[in-house]
């Protein structure tokens, strides 16, 4: 092992002891952390900022202090508590993993990477992080921050993702035999606070004398990334059906797939070939709804594999029931398991049922569109969901989390 590799661990650990970030899931330097807290935080931090995770982490610990409590909770409650954090398959895997730990391991986390990777939703990175941080195992922990630090430390010019094996090997070389959890968190903190993607603060870095990129003047150019493919575009229509008593129509998505089991406003399928703005169709369950739909705006949202544009329509009705749907007060939407996309749509629902709302008092809204009945979509009987309510990036090897926006109609 080169002398430089031997120097990295002591230098970083000394820096970490004095300048580490104080985070609610961490223990003091040299002390093992609670595996439940480490696991919960690592799942939440995937493609999500530390600032965004903190209140969710606190809420989950308050509601479910132990993995046994989480395993015993209804999945619907977990989805509601997770709403707004994104990547909702994480919440479903969280519940499945908690149940597996209780059912198969007596409520205790396996202490090694092999055992941890056998659990639902735990991949190589998360297994290594728990093994190192919670159990003191010598595991090689590599996330996006670590990749950036290693790429600069070793001046790896090969672009990501092809460079990942080299960066993993570099992290393996510099990881010490002791305090591996603290060391992993030290590299993460260095990447989050000093060795940042843009304008790294090299003069403050404890590794400045050891950094090849700094020596070669490449720190601003590394790590390099392969050109991203063009993001596919999809679209559709979403419908706010509202009554004069302040209720809107919602339904539950099927348990599998995107936003599985969560609450949504009725919408058409999201397709690549669409003309929802000019010729939208009624979704399943709204075939018998009479009257014109009023366009009220659009919602744009970046998802993992495509960018989505939804055209939002509204209609008032006195009809009491719709197949696969239920009524809920607008004010109660905050307690629903609404994904961020549907929370954007929910903003348009505010005020639609007021006697003084724009839609209620506009005698001839422009334009008005009468929708044809959608006939080529299979009928789905959706279950009635329960109504119980319960900056720094930590980048994982997943596409960047998208942003959504709402655009009101003119």
Distance between CA atoms of residues 113 and 122, nearest Å: 10
DSSP 389: -
- % of the chain exceeding 90 in pLDDT: 56
Active site residue 42: yes
- pLDDT score of 372 more than 50: no
pLDDT category of residue 359 using cuts at 50, 70 and 90: very low
Q: What is the mean pLDDT of the chain?
A: 83
Distance between CA atoms of residues 188 and 293, nearest Å: 51
DSSP 367: S
User: How many of the other CB atoms lie within 10 Å of CB of 274?
Assistant: 21
pLDDT at 382: 30
Q: Quick: pLDDT tens for 280-333.
A: 667 766 777 776 788 888 999 888 788 899 999 998 887 778 888 899 998 888
Distance between CA atoms of residues 8 and 183, nearest Å: 10
Looking at residues 331-348, what average pLDDT do you find? Answer: 88
Contact between 33 and 26 under an 8 Å Cβ cutoff? The reply is yes
pLDDT at 337: 85
Query: Tokens in use for 276?
Result: 């929802």
Residue appearing with tokens 């290693």: 150
pLDDT at 349: 87
Distance between CA atoms of residues 350 and 240, nearest Å: 10
DSSP characters for 264-329?
A: E--B---BSS--TTTS--BPTT-TT--SPBEEEEEEEEE-SS-EEEEEEEEEE------TTEEEEE
pLDDT at 206: 98
Distance between CA atoms of residues 298 and 13, nearest Å: 50
pLDDT at 116: 97
Contact between 249 and 333 under an 8 Å Cβ cutoff? The reply is no
Please tell me the least confidently modeled range out of 9-23, 164-178, 211-225, 295-309: 295-309
pTM exceeds 0.85, yes or no: no
Given its phi and psi angles, is residue 281 left (phi above 0), alpha (psi -120 to 50 degrees) or beta?
beta
Q: CA-based angle 133:18:182, to the nearest 5?
A: 10
Q: Quick: pLDDT tens for 383-402.
A: 333 333 333 434 444 333 34
pLDDT at 410: 45
Q: Quick: pLDDT tens for 57-97.
A: 999 999 999 999 999 999 999 999 998 888 888 999 999 99
- pLDDT score of 363 more than 90: no
Contact between 176 and 14 under an 8 Å Cβ cutoff? The reply is no
CATH T-level fold of 3-216: Endonuclease III; domain 1 (1.10.340)
Domain limits, the chain: 3-216, 233-408
pLDDT category of residue 276 using cuts at 50, 70 and 90: low
Contact between 210 and 4 under an 8 Å Cβ cutoff? The reply is yes
pLDDT at 53: 96
Distance between CA atoms of residues 73 and 79, nearest Å: 11
Q: What CATH architecture does domain 233-408 belong to? A: Alpha-Beta Complex (3.90)
User: How many of the other CB atoms lie within 10 Å of CB of 187?
Assistant: 27
Q: Which member of 7, 42, 256, 290 is catalytic?
A: 42
- pLDDT score of 173 more than 90: yes
- pLDDT score of 355 more than 80: no
């Amino acid at each position: 092992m080169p002398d430089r590799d031997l120097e990295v661990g002591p230098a970083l650990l000394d820096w970490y002891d004095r300048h580490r970030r104080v985070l609610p899931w961490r223990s003091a330097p040299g002390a093992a952390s609670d595996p439940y807290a480490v696991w919960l935080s690592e799942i939440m931090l995937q493609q999500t900022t530390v600032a965004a995770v903190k209140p969710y982490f606190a809420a989950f610990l308050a509601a479910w202090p132990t993995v046994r409590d989480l395993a015993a909770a209804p999945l619907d409650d977990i989805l509601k508590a997770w709403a707004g954090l994104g990547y909702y398959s994480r919440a479903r895997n969280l519940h499945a993993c908690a149940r597996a730990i209780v059912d198969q391991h007596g409520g205790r986390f396996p202490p090694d990477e092999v055992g941890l990777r056998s659990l639902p939703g735990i991949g190589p990175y998360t297994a290594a992080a728990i093994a190192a941080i919670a159990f003191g195992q010598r595991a090689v922990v590599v996330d996006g921050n670590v990749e950036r630090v290693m790429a600069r430390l070793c001046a790896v010019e090969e672009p990501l993702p092809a460079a990942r094996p080299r960066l993993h090997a570099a992290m393996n070389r510099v990881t010490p035999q002791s305090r591996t959890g603290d060391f992993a968190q030290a590299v993460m903190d260095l990447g989050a606070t000093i060795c940042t993607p843009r304008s790294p603060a090299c003069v403050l870095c404890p590794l400045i004398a050891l950094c090849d990129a700094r020596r070669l003047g490449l720190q601003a150019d590394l790590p390099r990334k392969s050109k991203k493919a063009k993001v596919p575009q999809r679209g559709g229509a979403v419908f706010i059906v509202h009554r004069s008593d302040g209720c809107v129509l919602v339904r539950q998505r099927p348990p599998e797939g995107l936003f599985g089991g969560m609450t949504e406003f009725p919408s058409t399928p999201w397709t690549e070939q669409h003309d929802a703005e000019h010729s939208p169709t009624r979704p399943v369950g709204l075939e018998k709804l009479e009257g014109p739909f009023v366009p009220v705006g659009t919602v744009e949202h970046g998802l993992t594999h495509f960018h989505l544009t939804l055209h939002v329509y509204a209609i008032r009705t006195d009809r009491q029931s719709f197949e696969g749907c239920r009524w809920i007060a607008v004010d109660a939407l905050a307690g629903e398991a609404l994904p961020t996309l549907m929370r954007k749509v929910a903003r348009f629902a505010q005020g639609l049922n007021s006697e003084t709302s724009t839609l209620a008092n506009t005698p001839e809204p422009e334009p008005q569109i009468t929708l044809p009945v959608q006939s080529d979509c299979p009928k789905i009987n959706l279950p009635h969901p329960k109504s119980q309510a319960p900056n720094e990036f930590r980048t994982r090897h997943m596409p960047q989390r998208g942003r959504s926006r709402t655009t009101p109609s003119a």
